Amino acid sequence: MNLTANMMRNTWLVFFLTFRLEIVLSAACTNNNEVGEDNPKNEDIDTNSGTIVLQVWRPMGGNTYKLVGSVTHTAGATGDQSVPAVFQVDQNDCIGWYTSSTDMVPSKNDGGAPDTIYITSAPTNNVGDTQVFSGGGTVTNERFQINVQQNVPNATVAQPVTYDAGNQNIPDTTAASASVGTVTFTDLDVADTITITMAANNYFAMVNNGDGTASVTLTADANYPINDVSGTTQTLTFTATDSCGSTATTTMPVTIINLPPTLTGLVPGQTESETVGSERQVMTYTCSDTIDDVTGTITVMYEIYLPAQSTTHQFDADSVSQYTITVTCDDGKTLGTDTGTTVISLSANQPPSITNLPAPTSIDVSQTVTNAGAMQTIQNMADANSNGYDIIITPVDNRGNLGVSRTLTVVVTDINSSPTFSNLPIDVPIDENIAIGTSIFTVSFTDPDVADTHTFSFGTSSYFEMADTSTGVITTKAVVDYEALPQTSFPIQVTVTDGIKTATDTVTINVNDLNEPLVWNSATYRTDVADGAAVGTAIANPGFNITDEDPGDTYTCRMDCGAADGYFNLLTNCASTSALAVTSVYSLDNTGLGTSVVCTVTAVDTGSHTATTTLSITIDDADNYTPAFTYTNNVFTLSAYTASGVVVGTVTATDEDTGTFGQFTYSMDTSSLPDSYFAMDSATGTISTVVDLLTTCNCSSTSFVMPITAEDQGGLVGSAQVTIYITDATTTHTTTTTDRYRTFFEDTKNIAWFSVAMALCAVIAAVTTFVMIRYVCNGPPLCRFRTGSKFYRRQLDTPPRPLTPRRPPPPKQEPHQSIRRCPPPKGFQFWRSQRIGQ
């Protein structure tokens, strides 16, 4: 497909189809314009008839597009054809078309068609659906004979506005978010999209409905209740903008009607005495005001008081007998008041009189001081007798007017006894850490008045209480930890009362300190020690740490290491930095010992409390032994004819260390040699020739001594030496390995006398042969010629042909072999002649 890159902004389209296929757009906001190819370079050609779908697609991101308009047209094979359709398109929208008919729209293969989408597969026909055009589908090498024209429609500006009438006068009690009215704009371009906005106003909100109308409501923001602007007219300003940017403006006045407060409860009139000893209330009224449905009705009560009178300022009913009082409820806004009036009349003062003395003029008085009533005792009546008391009572008012005197006879009866504690004061010892709610003491008392009801009260304490004030039982109400208490002795006051008399005393609770269990701060501790460490070696303290709530408490420790017991020791004071030591050498080089030891450590405090933890001791492998060679001097013999790469022999070292430190490398120092004749395998200790001894070394009848070492992984080095004898080049020798007895020909003394003997034998053989020849050939019988019998004799005057001795061939070099068997006893070595290695 081919996507347009320059669509019109906010336009209405009208398609006109021609063959040459031509599409015409009717644009609401632009002048007549033409987009697309109306005269392809290949000129007009006949096309196939069929159905064509003309569409508008809106990019949604990526390769996804949404269908915003579609029209289907059945076209003939030739002729211009118009297809009217009205769609709203925005900037970047794409004009698309689809047909299943082959060559329905002619094209030329010389450039893209940037203003159209050529859809190669059937698209959706539902406006609002989306479709993915894979890879953008841009056709880059074809120009289609399809044309888009833009035409200017009629009206492009918004028409006069209307709004609802009758909703713009609202009371200040209107609820938040309530509807105020609807603003309506109209446009002759019925398909235009009209966007409505409202100038900012904190007390109102507007919703653009998208159809040319907007709904106006009170704001939902609680910070701006409409009651705040009660009694005012708010002018709201609205602006409508159509798709092409044309605007129209209107206003909506909204009047907020204030509802005044209401005054209630004020009586028209009331009579009061002119005598006022102290300030007193005489009347109340309320002011109520409905704010809104959120706050509701606010009601405030007010009171009318008569002030206290003094000698210089007092009411006088004879001078002023009544007062008129006007009260007003005012909310501070327009039309926001409500007013009421009341009249307070004053009556003249009259002398007082006694009206409530008992008929028999006598009453029973208990022994307790009474604080209520007009008459009261002034001391405890516990010592009073049963005689009666006559009390003359005369009423008098604040103006000095005396009333009629009366007599009150008081008879003391039913004398009450005071309760007495039977087990207080007392010291009560308790142990620390007892459970909350544990009963620790019960207070008891006695009272002769057995019918009395008694109640206890208990002093304030954070740790103890008397939950049931009728039982006298004292219990704990918090954890009593001796070490955490601010004090260990708690004197607390206890009171019991029969309703008339009380008794008070003290209970002192003393908390005893108990030895509490100790706790290891970790379930496992770890340390390490070197493999084979000497007896007495201190082992790093693993950080033993114990928590014990008892200050100054001490403890001892013991350690059980199971099968490894006896190798390590733990001091009784396991908090010491040198608590651990080696008591027997623990070597990993001994069979059966592992690389770690797990011990159980037990701590015991002075209260015999125990706590256990685990100690893991890691045995660090150590390099305890130096490698040692089997022989300090390793002797080897080589023939002077030995070639390069021939094994001379192998040296062997051992190390008692196991594991890594039991592994080592061999080395041989050849720096004293004229050249590098020999080399040693660092892993096996095998020595080999590096050069051909006959051609390079030329070292027959020579010996070489070279230091050798074996170094283990810990850096310990064992030393020895290697001696290599090189035999004479004329003598065939074989190689030997480690120290052994020499063979017959390896002993130079044997070679010396054997060589002399062989030389003598050769001389004797030669002389014997010569004598025999001379005797046979020169003697008469054998050297004469006899013709008839084929015998003849050599002429005596012919000298004999000298004998030329034949040089024997060089001895064949035997293969170099290593002897790995024990040599024969020394007594038999002188005749040993078989080849080495057999």
Mean pLDDT, residues 256-277: 81
Enumerate the β-bridge partners of residue 303: 284
> 229 CB contacts (<8 Å, ≥6 apart)?
172, 203, 256
Asked if residues 636 and 686 have their Cβ atoms less than 8 Å apart, the reply is no
Neighbours of 613 (CB within 10 A): 22
User: Residue 817 domain-assigned?
Assistant: no
* Residue at 324: amino acid letter: T
Q: Tell if the pTM clears 0.75, that is, is over it.
A: no
360 falls within a domain: no
Residues 170 and 241 both lie in one domain: yes
Tell me, what's the pLDDT at 386? 53
Same domain? For 637 and 582 the reply is no
Q: What confidence score (pLDDT) does residue 755 get?
A: 74
Q: What does the pLDDT average to over 766-779?
A: 70
What span, in angstroms and rounded, lies between the C-alpha atoms of 630 and 622? 23
Residue 484 belongs to domain with CATH number: 2.60.40.60
- What pLDDT, on a 0 to 100 scale, did the predictor assign at position 699? 86
Residues 15 and 141 in one domain: yes
Tokens coding 596: 């770690």
Strands 502-512 and 426-431: parallel
Mark whether 126 and 181 lie in a shared domain: no
> What single letter denotes the amino acid at residue 367?
Q
Nearest alpha-carbon partner for 283 in 261, 260, 264, 267: 267
- Residue 133 to residue 55: CA distance in whole angstroms: 14
Answer yes or no: is 434 within a domain: yes
Domain shared by 647 and 729, yes or no: yes
SS3 135: helix
Q: Are residues 101 and 190 in the same domain?
A: no
813 burial via Cβ count (<10 Å: 0-12, 13-18, 19+): middle
Residues in the chain: 838
Looking at the structure, do residues 251 and 266 belong to the same domain, yes or no? no
Q: Same domain, yes or no, for 54 and 146?
A: yes
Q: Is the CB of residue 685 less than 8 Å from the CB of residue 651?
A: yes
Beta strands in 630-685 (DSSP E): 633-638, 647-650, 653-654, 664-668, 678-680
Q: Look at residues 313, 330, 347 and tell me which one is the last residue of a structural domain.
A: 347
The rounded distance, in Å, linking the Cα atoms of 206 and 237 is 11
Provide the token pair at 599: 């011990």
666 secondary structure, DSSP code: E
780 alpha carbon, distance to own chain's centre: 130
Residue 60 domain flag = yes
Q: Cβ distance 474 to 457 under 8 Å?
A: no
Query: Do both 438 and 343 map to the same domain?
Result: no
pLDDT at residue 373, rounded to an integer: 46
Tokens of 656: 């008692």
Q: Which of 496, 512, 528 is the last residue of a domain?
A: 512
* Least confident interval from 133-142, 297-306, 610-619: 133-142
Would residue 137 count as lying in a domain? yes
The answer to whether the CB of 150 falls within 8 A of the CB of 26 is: yes
Selection from 602, 595, 594, 600 nearest residue 615 by Cα: 600
Condensed to tens digits (0 to 9), the pLDDT of residues 632-691 reads 999 999 998 999 999 999 999 998 887 788 888 999 999 989 888 999 999 999 999 999
| The dihedral sign for the CA sequence 711, 714, 716, 718 | negative
Q: How many CB atoms lie within 10 A of CB 46?
A: 10
Label residue 837 left, alpha or beta by phi (over 0 means left) and psi (-120 to 50 means alpha): left
Verify that 119 and 189 share a domain, yes or no: no
CB of 614 within 8 A of CB of 601? yes
Please state, in angstroms and rounded to a whole number, the distance separating the CA atoms of residues 412 and 367.
7
Give CA–CA dist 245/240, Å, rounded: 9
382 belongs to a structural domain: no
Residue 11 has pLDDT above 50, yes or no: no
Arithmetic mean of pLDDT, 286-306: 71
Residues contacting 158, CB < 8 A, separation 6+: 185, 186, 187, 194, 240, 241, 242, 246, 247, 248
Contact criterion met (CB below 8 Å) for 702 and 724: no
CA distance 553 to 601: 18
Q: Confirm whether 369 is domain-assigned.
A: no
Q: Where residue 739 falls among pLDDT bands split at 50, 70, 90? A: very low
Q: Of 432, 480, 437, 472, which Cα lies nearest the Cα of 455?
A: 472
Q: What is the pLDDT of residue 257?
A: 84
What is the residue type of 553?
A: D
Band (pLDDT 50/70/90 cuts) for residue 762 is: confident
36 has a pLDDT exceeding 80: no
Given this model, what pLDDT does residue 524 score? 93
Residue 474 structure tokens: 């004292």
The answer on 314 and 297 residing in a single domain is yes
Got the DSSP string for 280-297?
EEEEEEEEEEE--TTT-E
Q: Is 122 inside a domain boundary?
A: yes
| pLDDT tens readout for residues 435-474 | 999 999 999 999 888 888 999 999 899 999 998 989 999 9
Name the least confident of 203-207, 364-368, 549-553, 779-783.
Answer: 779-783
Q: Are 229 and 210 in contact (CB under 8 A)?
A: no
Q: Which residue would you say has higher pLDDT here, 790 or 53?
A: 53
For residues 189 and 222, membership in a common domain is answered with yes
Report how far residue 558's alpha carbon sits from residue 579's, in angstroms, rounded to the nearest whole number: 11
Nearest to 325 by CA among 339, 341, 336: 341
- CA distance from start to end of the chain: 96
Rounded mean pLDDT of 99-125? 66
In whole angstroms, what is the distance from residue 204 CA to residue 676 CA?
Answer: 106
State residue 22's pLDDT score: 41
Choose the final residue of a domain: 116, 132, 151.
151
Query: pLDDT class for 3, splitting at 50, 70, 90?
Result: very low
Q: Domain range for residue 712?
A: 628-739
pLDDT score recorded for residue 506? 95
Span 339-383, pLDDT tens digits:
888 888 888 777 777 777 665 545 555 544 454 445 677 766 655
pLDDT confidence tier of residue 7, bands split at 50, 70 and 90: very low
Count of the separate structural domains present in the chain? 6
**Average pLDDT score over residue span 74-98:** 68
Classified as helix, coil or strand, 182 is strand
495 confidence band (pLDDT: 50, 70, 90): very high
